[in-house]
Structure 1
Amino acid sequence: MPHVVFRKNGQAYEGEVKEKSNLVVRAGIKQFPFPHLKYQCGMGKCATCACEVLAGAEFLPPPNWKEKKQLGERLDAGWRLACQLWIEQDIELRQDDAAATTAA
């Protein structure tokens, strides 16, 4: 099972999720060990769930068109939309409120 580290505002939340889990879907159905994930639409339209990938990016598929449209140059800096990621390997993400604001 993939090990997920989620960092938010100086805190680290860790846990395991089933393979091929989507973190936003799991948060929406209250089956997610990281209650602080900020998200909204879950469909790649709002970019509220944008996270910086700190580790495990090499295991993710290439960004899809929704991520390219919403994130633009932030993709090159390691940002992805959590709602568009189906986790199959260990990953470490950060979604600091201040970082999200300055990266936008």
Structure 2
Amino acid sequence: MPIITIHKNGQIQTGEVKNNANLVVCAGIKKFPYPHLKYGCGMGKCCKCACRVIAGQEHLPEPNWKELKLLGDRIDLGFRLMCQLWVSHDLEIEQNDLV
């Protein structure tokens, strides 16, 4: 099962999720990474779940059209929308209040 590490506002939280889990869905049903992950619509429209991927990017699919539209050049900096990803490998992400 994938290990997720979240860096947020100077704190680091680590937890395990089921294989092929969507982190926004997990947070929405009050499982890890709740309450550490900020999220909104869960449909790739609001960008509240945007995170910078620190490690594990190589295991993620290419950004979809929603991510390309909302994140623009930030994709080149490693940002992704967590609501658009299903995690099957360890992932380390950063989400600060300024993101």
TM-score with structure 1 length normalisation? Answer: 0.92
Amino acid at match of 2:67: E
Distance 1:43 1:78 in 2: 20
Alpha-carbon distance between aligned partners in 2 of 1:21 and 1:31, rounded to the nearest angstrom: 11
* 1:3 aligned onto 2:18: no
Any idea what the Cα deviations from partners look like across 1:68-95, whole Å, max 9, x if unmatched? 0100000000000010110000000000
Name structure 1 gaps, 5 residues minimum: none
**Structure 2 counterpart of 1:75, one-letter code:** I
What are the equivalent positions in structure 2 for 1:35-46 lying under 5 Å apart? 35-46=35-46
Count of matched residue pairs: 99
| 2:62 equivalent in structure 1 | 62
Q: TM-score, normalized by length of structure 2?
A: 0.96
Q: Which runs of 5+ in 2 are unaligned?
A: none
Specify the SS of the correspondent of 2:74. Answer: helix
- Partners of 1:40 and 1:19 lie apart in 2 by 22
